[in-house]
Amino acid sequence: MGNYKLVLCYDGSRYAGWQRQGNAENTIQHRVEQTLSRVLSEPVQISGCGRTDAGVHARMQVCSFRSANLSDPEETLSQLRKYLPEDIGAVSLTEAPDRFHARLSCREKTYRYRVWHTDAPNVFERKYVYPFPEPLDLSAVRKAADALEGTHDFAGFSTGHTKKSTVRTVRRILLNDDGQELTLSFTGDGFLYHMVRIMTGTLLEAGLGRKSAADIADVFLKKDRSLAGFTAPAQGLILWEIQY
Residues designated catalytic: 53
Nearer to a copy of itself, 57 or 211 (CB): 57
Nearer to a copy of itself, 43 or 121 (CB): 121
Of 73, 53, 105, 58, nearest in space to 6 by CA: 73
Distance in Å, CB of 141 to a copy of itself, minimum? 25
Count of CB atoms situated within 10 Å of the CB of 131: 15
Nearer to a copy of itself, 123 or 214 (CB): 123
Let me know: does 117 contact 152? Beta carbons within 8 Å.
no
Distance in Å, CB of 188 to a copy of itself, minimum? 24
| Residues in touch with a copy of itself (CB under 8 A) | 9-11, 57, 78, 81, 86-91, 119-126, 128
The amino acid sitting at 157 is F
- How many residues can be counted in the chain? 244
Nearer to a copy of itself, 120 or 214 (CB): 120
Of 106, 120, 113, nearest in space to 168 by CA: 106
Exposed/middle/buried for residue 127 (C-beta within 10 Å: 0-12, 13-18, 19+): middle
Let me know: does 194 contact 113? Beta carbons within 8 Å.
no
Distance in Å, CB of 140 to a copy of itself, minimum? 26
Let me know: does 91 contact 9? Beta carbons within 8 Å.
yes
Q: What 3-state DSSP class applies to 230? A: coil
Distance in Å, CB of 89 to a copy of itself, minimum? 2
